[in-house]
A and B are shown apart, each in its own frame.
Chain A
Amino acid sequence: MLRVDGLTVRYGPVQALSDVSFDARDGVITTVLGANGAGKTTLLRTLSGLVRSTAGRVSFDGVPITGRDPETISRMGIAHIPEGRGVISELTVDENLRLGTLHRLRRAERRGAMEEIYERFPQLGERRNRSASTLSGGERQILVIGRALVSRPRLLLLDEPSLGLAPLVTAQIMATIEELTSGAGLSAILVEQNARGALSVAHWAVVLNLGRVVIADEPSRLGADAELRRHYLGF
Chain B
Amino acid sequence: MTSVPTRPAPVSPNPGGSDHPERGLRGLRGLKPLGRMGDRVRLPAQPFLRHLVFFVLGAAFFYVLTTNVSTYNDFQIGEIALYAIVLGGLSLLTGLNGQFSLGHGAFMIIGAYTLALLQLHAHVGIVGELVSATLIAAAAGVIVGIPAARLSAPYLAGVTLMLALALPQLSSQYGSVFGGEQGLTTTPPAGPGSINSQEWLAWIQIFCALLVLLLLANLARSRFGRAFRAVRDDEIAAAISGIHVARTKVLAFAVSAGCAGLGGALLAFSTGVVNNGEFPLSLSIALLAAMVIGGAGSFVGVWWGAVALVYMSTWSGSLSHQFSLGTSAAAYLSDAIFGVVLIVAILAAPTGIQGGIRWIGRRAWRGLVGTPLQTAATTALVALAPASSTETGEPLGHRVIPLDGPPADDGGSRCRSAPAGGDDRVSGDDSVSGDDRISGDDRVSGDDRASGDDRAGGTHGETSTVRPDPEHEHDPEHEHEHEHEHEHEERSTP
With beta carbons under 8 angstroms apart, the residue of B11, B35, B230 that contacts A99 is B230
Q: Is residue B336 within 8 Å, beta carbon to beta carbon, of the partner chain? A: no
With beta carbons under 8 angstroms apart, the residue of A70, A92, A114, A123 that contacts B19 is A92
- The size of the chain A interface, using a CB distance under 8 A, is 49
Which residues, 10 to 53 on B, are CB-close (under 8 Å) to A?
11-12, 14, 16-22, 35
A137-B447 in contact (CB<8A): yes
Q: Quick check: which of A26-34, A59-67, A126-134, A216-224 contacts chain B, the rest being far away?
A: A126-134
A95-B1 in contact (CB<8A): no
For the complex formed, measure the closest distance between the CB of B97 and the CB atoms of chain A, giving whole angstroms: 11
Q: Is residue B474 within 8 Å, beta carbon to beta carbon, of the partner chain? A: no
- The size of the chain B interface, using a CB distance under 8 A, is 48
Q: Chain B contacts of A137 at CB under 8 A?
A: 447
A126-B484 in contact (CB<8A): yes
Q: Chain B contacts of A210 at CB under 8 A?
A: none
B229-A122 in contact (CB<8A): no
With beta carbons under 8 angstroms apart, the residue of B3, B229, B245, B444 that contacts A91 is B229
Q: Is residue B416 within 8 Å, beta carbon to beta carbon, of the partner chain? A: no
A128-B20 in contact (CB<8A): no
B4-A70 in contact (CB<8A): no
Q: Chain B contacts of A123 at CB under 8 A?
A: 449, 487
- Contacts A99-B230, A134-B443; A129 near B17 (Cβ below 8 A): yes
- Contacts A69-B239, A91-B226, A122-B490; A131 near B21 (Cβ below 8 A): yes
Q: Is residue A40 within 8 Å, beta carbon to beta carbon, of the partner chain? A: no
- Contacts A95-B16, A118-B4, A129-B17; A86 near B234 (Cβ below 8 A): yes
In the complex, A113→B82 CA distance in Å? 43
A129-B239 in contact (CB<8A): no
Which residues, 216 to 246 on B, are CB-close (under 8 Å) to A?
223, 226-227, 229-230, 232-234, 236-245
Q: Is residue A104 within 8 Å, beta carbon to beta carbon, of the partner chain? A: yes
B229-A131 in contact (CB<8A): no
Q: Chain B contacts of A207 at CB under 8 A?
A: none
For the complex formed, measure the closest distance between the CB of A183 and the CB atoms of chain B, giving whole angstroms: 13
For the complex formed, measure the closest distance between the CB of A45 and the CB atoms of chain B, giving whole angstroms: 9
Q: 1/0 per residue B476-492: CB within 8 Å of A?
A: 11001001100100110
Residue from A48, A49, A94 having most chain B Cβ neighbours under 10 A = A94
Further pairs besides A89-B233, A129-B476: 18, Cβ < 8 Å: A70-B240, A71-B245, A82-B236, A86-B236, A102-B243, A111-B12, A115-B3, A118-B4, A119-B1, A122-B483, A122-B487, A125-B487, A129-B14, A131-B18, A131-B19, A134-B444, A136-B449, A151-B241
